[in-house]
Structure 1
Amino acid sequence: MAKAPIWQWSAVKTARAIRKGKVSAEEVVHSHVDRMKAVNPKLNAVVVDLSKDAIKAARAADKARASGEEIGALHGVPVTIKINLDVKGQANSNGVPAFKDNIAPDDSAVTANLRKAGAIIIGLTNTPEFSMRGFTDNPLHGLTLNPWDPKITCGGSSGGAGASVAAGIGAIAHGNDIGGSLRWPAFCNGVATIKPTQGRIPAFNPTQLKGDERPLMAQFMSSQGPIARSVEDVALGLEVMAMRDPRDPWWVPAPLKGPKLKGPIKVAFAKIPRDMKGDTKVISLVRTAADHLANAGYDVHEVELPDLDGTWKLWSDLIFTELTVLQEATMRQHGSADFITAIESMKGTSTVLDREGYMKAIARRTRVLRNWMLFLEEYPVILSPLSVRKTPSFNADLESPERGRSLFWNDLRFMSAINVLGLPAAVVPVGLLGGTPIGVQLIASRYREDLCLKAAEAIEERAGTLVETLWARG
């Protein structure tokens, strides 16, 4: 059997091999850089090539190890960063031409944590304008393609992250998620991720100091996180990214593993709302994931989730009220015609609230979250679809206003509802349908990412990882 090239190794295996001296960091980085040069011209997933700096950093990493210095959990491991996160000396453009010279004076909290752990940044990945579409295209860097099929979307807004790590560029990709921007690209590209609890991973961009802070609910609904090819690598990425940074006042020093639950753990297998128009073959694969959990010893029950529709609507109303009041003018000034069309479609699902309505909605969020947490006391893990349909075309949200609205309300209702709650949610692939990946979502209570990842791992052990199939295609 042929030996797998280094770029196909997991982050865990790569870090271990470097630590034991079986391979040098420079060899590892060269392997990933060569892979990037081979596949990225077609994908356009990495839009800022940092390979020259990465090779220098790899040489420094090898010298540090040789001299006996203490090394971190990702020492020498290649990673990518999404272009909406600050990397010192690079532009945080957020996919907007007007921001192409928005040079970061210092590293973001996540970038700093990755560097502390010894990770080596080989490139910055693409995002849609303002990171506010589920489809990755912008006038500054162009369209990112899905490595499985160029006709379907790679997702968004961390679409470049999902496409790059699936294609073998970097062992772990950074992304972030305010409405599904980690989980949707993981689904589309056949890889794994975790949207952590709000406060788990510190969030701060030094470029924020040039203007106002993000709106309150945007802060509470957004999470930074890792995308990787296996659940084990996602867990490692989470551990590294979650280190303290005093620049984020919302960071919480919660343990990464909570108290062990008495087994068997009850799983709520989410019923599909009657008005959701789904693909029966997609739903069948979600049922397969439920069977995998049952075979792994989980106690699976098919039940309705607590007011999924109302929870999703609360997310939509809050995020688009803040966007309309504080961000829309800038977006209309600097955004492309396609971006404005997409935003208007998404806004069509929301009610832009007045001052009293906004304050009441924030207050109502506490009650909604309480009801979900009580539900999670009985069912510590929820299994749901991430999408009830196959991955759509690369610009499906521009096909018509109706299609743009239905994508988030119908196809992805289980996804964006979780953001308003700030709960952790993992995505793991469960199989292929027509040659393209399908994943499922696993939700747990606050700071119980370990429960999400353990259940995701149980599915992965039975379904396998999918990227080997992609790589075998050449």
Structure 2
Amino acid sequence: MSASEQAQAIRCGEIGTVEAVESAIGRLDAMNGALNAVVVDLREEALAAAREADAARARGDELGPLHGVPVTIKINVDFTGQANSNGVPGLLGLVARDDSPIVRNWRRAGAIAIGQTNTPEFSMRVMTENPIYGRTLNPWDPSITCGGSSGGAASSVAAGIGALAHGNDIGGSLRSPAFACGVSTIKPTTGRVPAYNGTATSERPMLAQITSSQGPIAREVRDVRLGLQAMIARDPRDPWHVPLPFDGPALEGPLKVAVAEVPEGFSAHPAVLAAVEDAARMLADAGYVVERVKTPDIVRPLELWFDLIPAEMRELQLGAYRSMATPEMNRIVDQYFEMCHARDLKSFMAASAERTGHIRNWMLFLERYPLVLTPLCLEPSLAPDADLQGPGAVERVFRSFLFQTGLNTLALPCAVVPTGLHEGRPIGVQLVASRFREDVALAAAEAIEDRAGVLARRLWDREA
């Protein structure tokens, strides 16, 4: 059942919360041994919370929109009583005394966490593997990556372990796993979802703060919407949170969708281009006006991401990487630094200033075309260790994620939805909207899903 179906069934008394949680735990026991997606088992706490949730319903208490729904939480946010390890053995002692805002908001909405999901070291790879818990596999095909860094979240929800998963995204960490595992997500606008970790020993660098987002991953777009709406409640621990209503003003229709061209110097696999064309036809069928026009520059925003985020890592976080990361992760970090051209304060400040102009260009474009349809990855799939294949491997991987990571620099909301299969593996597209118009992006994603179907059901058909 979807999260929306479960919430409604529990509210109406058709099923109990204990029944829903026990079912999710049963699925975890059946599937997780092969996937290694959920790495912290919270079943005892979850069952206790489920019993209380059933008692609350019996008393007639007011129920939240996620009341009784089993969910998972990524291991890089604070969850009371659990270590915020972020995939790093040296951080296993960072035990949270309080919940992060997203955990607190989902709990208040009635969600019940059955486990925590895997992430790579420091959550800074597009693959999911770390020395504490090992590698998470893709439920469709273990020979391809499940994506990263929210790979455990996407793998688990695709396999049916809970209906809704939490993840986060600084360079594609929600969207890459959703694409790889055939599920849906949205990277919200920076400031839409409050974020804070009390276990952090220092504040994050500024550009890391304003390019990172918390968000939901789910099998169905309606659940992505439901999960996000429950995430956005105000939390004063995040001074950058913007407490706007979820739904923005109505836009005059029919809405225009710009289909982005792959820039000169980049090439996309034919299957990726076919997925974009499929999505364009589905949107046209749903009543959108689809046009192929030149979009603002995305190549330079990708370059700026590497000028800004690795520069902050080099100046403020390098000691932690060198002392706590594995040699493999440090090799990846070195390649991040090689791609960073901000070698001094002046060049860093110039890159920071330039970023604003690119955001403005995209915002003005989105006034004329409220949606932009893009590939998510220029390759249909990647190997689990594609970023470790010698010099230049990280750059090759991130060039394939041009439309993914470049948009983190712009802090715009981006939804990902699957469109079908290529050689038995998931493939999908990305939809970009203007700031705080997650509602517009998700409506278009749902229009595609209505025509393409919920892809995870085809995965489960294989089991039958």
Identify the TM-score tier after normalising by the shorter chain: over 0.9
User: Partners of 2:407 and 2:130 in 1: how far apart?
Assistant: 27
CA shift, 1:133, in A, is 0.3
User: Partners of 2:401 and 2:349 in 1: how far apart?
Assistant: 26
Is it true that 1:254 corresponds to 2:227 in the alignment? no
CA shift, 1:439, in A, is 1.2
Q: 1:156 aligns with which of 148, 166, 178?
A: 148
Which residue of structure 2 lines up, in the alignment, with residue 290 of structure 1? 280
Is it true that 1:472 corresponds to 2:464 in the alignment? no
3-state SS, counterpart of residue 81 of structure 1:
strand
Tell me if structure 2 keeps the 8 A contact 1:283–1:385.
yes
CA shift, 1:141, in A, is 0.7
Q: 1:461 aligns with which of 440, 450, 453?
A: 450
CA shift, 1:405, in A, is 1.2
User: Partners of 2:343 and 2:407 in 1: how far apart?
Assistant: 20
Tell me if structure 2 keeps the 8 A contact 1:386–1:440.
yes
Residue 89 of structure 2 aligns with an amino acid whose one-letter code is P
Q: 2:9 aligns with which of 13, 17, 22?
A: 17
3-state SS, counterpart of residue 199 of structure 2:
helix
User: Partners of 1:263 and 1:68 in 2: how far apart?
Assistant: 42
CA shift, 1:49, in A, is 0.3
Which residue of structure 1 lines up, in the alignment, with residue 266 of structure 2? 276
Which residue of structure 2 lines up, in the alignment, with residue 92 of structure 1? 84
Which residue of structure 1 lines up, in the alignment, with residue 223 of structure 2? 233
CA shift, 1:317, in A, is 0.7
> How much identity, in percent, do the aligned residues show?
55
User: Partners of 2:455 and 2:336 in 1: how far apart?
Assistant: 31
Residue 78 of structure 1 aligns with an amino acid whose one-letter code is P
User: Partners of 2:334 and 2:429 in 1: how far apart?
Assistant: 28
CA shift, 1:350, in A, is 2.4
Is it true that 1:332 corresponds to 2:322 in the alignment? yes
CA shift, 1:352, in A, is 3.2
3-state SS, counterpart of residue 129 of structure 2:
coil
Q: 1:446 aligns with which of 435, 449, 454?
A: 435
User: Partners of 1:22 and 1:196 in 2: how far apart?
Assistant: 33
Structure 2 matches for 1:427-438, cutoff 5 A? 427-438=416-427
Tell me if structure 2 keeps the 8 A contact 1:133–1:343.
no
User: Partners of 2:337 and 2:186 in 1: how far apart?
Assistant: 26
Q: 1:202 aligns with which of 191, 194, 207?
A: 194
Moved more, 30-39 or 277-286: 277-286
CA shift, 1:92, in A, is 0.2
Residue 28 of structure 2 aligns with an amino acid whose one-letter code is M
3-state SS, counterpart of residue 384 of structure 1:
strand
User: Partners of 1:353 and 1:422 in 2: how far apart?
Assistant: 24
Which residue of structure 1 lines up, in the alignment, with residue 384 of structure 2? 394
Moved more, 18-27 or 252-261: 252-261
Structure 2 matches for 1:214-233, cutoff 5 A? 214-233=204-223
CA shift, 1:456, in A, is 0.4
User: Partners of 1:190 and 1:394 in 2: how far apart?
Assistant: 16
User: Partners of 2:418 and 2:339 in 1: how far apart?
Assistant: 28
Residue 429 of structure 1 aligns with an amino acid whose one-letter code is P
3-state SS, counterpart of residue 193 of structure 1:
strand
Is it true that 1:170 corresponds to 2:162 in the alignment? yes
CA shift, 1:378, in A, is 0.8
User: Partners of 2:181 and 2:457 in 1: how far apart?
Assistant: 12
Q: TM-score, normalised by structure 2?
A: 0.99
CA shift, 1:153, in A, is 0.4
Q: Deviations over 1:58-104 (max 9, x none)?
A: 00100011011111000000000000010000000000011112100
How many pairs were matched up? 463
Ranges in structure 2 where 5+ consecutive residues have no aligned partner: none
Q: 2:401 aligns with which of 405, 412, 415?
A: 412
User: Partners of 1:428 and 1:118 in 2: how far apart?
Assistant: 26
**Superposition RMSD on alpha carbons, in Å?**
0.9
Residue 308 of structure 1 aligns with an amino acid whose one-letter code is I
Tell me if structure 1 keeps the 8 A contact 2:168–2:212.
yes
User: Partners of 1:359 and 1:86 in 2: how far apart?
Assistant: 32
CA shift, 1:167, in A, is 0.5
Runs of 4+ in 1 over 4 A off after TM superposition: none
CA shift, 1:349, in A, is 2.5
Residue 114 of structure 1 aligns with an amino acid whose one-letter code is W
Moved more, 300-309 or 330-339: 300-309
Which residue of structure 2 lines up, in the alignment, with residue 41 of structure 1? 33
Residue 66 of structure 1 aligns with an amino acid whose one-letter code is A
3-state SS, counterpart of residue 115 of structure 1:
helix
User: Partners of 2:274 and 2:95 in 1: how far apart?
Assistant: 47
CA shift, 1:420, in A, is 1.1
Tell me if structure 1 keeps the 8 A contact 2:298–2:407.
no
Structure 2 matches for 1:69-84, cutoff 5 A? 69-84=61-76
User: Partners of 1:332 and 1:37 in 2: how far apart?
Assistant: 36
Ranges in structure 1 where 5+ consecutive residues have no aligned partner: 1-8
User: Partners of 1:425 and 1:250 in 2: how far apart?
Assistant: 19
Q: 1:147 aligns with which of 136, 139, 142?
A: 139
Tell me if structure 1 keeps the 8 A contact 2:88–2:122.
yes
Residue 253 of structure 2 aligns with an amino acid whose one-letter code is G
Q: Deviations over 1:39-74 (max 9, x none)?
A: 101100000000111111100100011011111000
User: Partners of 2:288 and 2:266 in 1: how far apart?
Assistant: 27
Which residue of structure 2 lines up, in the alignment, with residue 5 of structure 1? none
Tell me if structure 2 keeps the 8 A contact 1:158–1:185.
yes
Q: 1:422 aligns with which of 411, 416, 422?
A: 411
Is it true that 1:119 corresponds to 2:111 in the alignment? yes
CA shift, 1:357, in A, is 1.4
Which residue of structure 2 lines up, in the alignment, with residue 384 of structure 1? 374
Q: Deviations over 1:300-348 (max 9, x none)?
A: 1112221111111111111111011111221111000111122223333
User: Partners of 2:297 and 2:100 in 1: how far apart?
Assistant: 36
CA shift, 1:252, in A, is 0.5
CA shift, 1:292, in A, is 0.7
User: Partners of 1:347 and 1:298 in 2: how far apart?
Assistant: 42
3-state SS, counterpart of residue 23 of structure 1:
coil
3-state SS, counterpart of residue 358 of structure 2:
helix
User: Partners of 2:439 and 2:294 in 1: how far apart?
Assistant: 23
User: Partners of 2:104 and 2:375 in 1: how far apart?
Assistant: 34
Tell me if structure 2 keeps the 8 A contact 1:293–1:455.
yes
CA shift, 1:281, in A, is 1.8
Tell me if structure 2 keeps the 8 A contact 1:129–1:335.
yes
Tell me if structure 2 keeps the 8 A contact 1:348–1:405.
no
CA shift, 1:368, in A, is 1.3
Tell me if structure 2 keeps the 8 A contact 1:324–1:352.
no
CA shift, 1:277, in A, is 2.3
User: Partners of 1:353 and 1:61 in 2: how far apart?
Assistant: 54
Q: Deviations over 1:208-230 (max 9, x none)?
A: 2xx21000010000000000001
User: Partners of 2:255 and 2:60 in 1: how far apart?
Assistant: 44
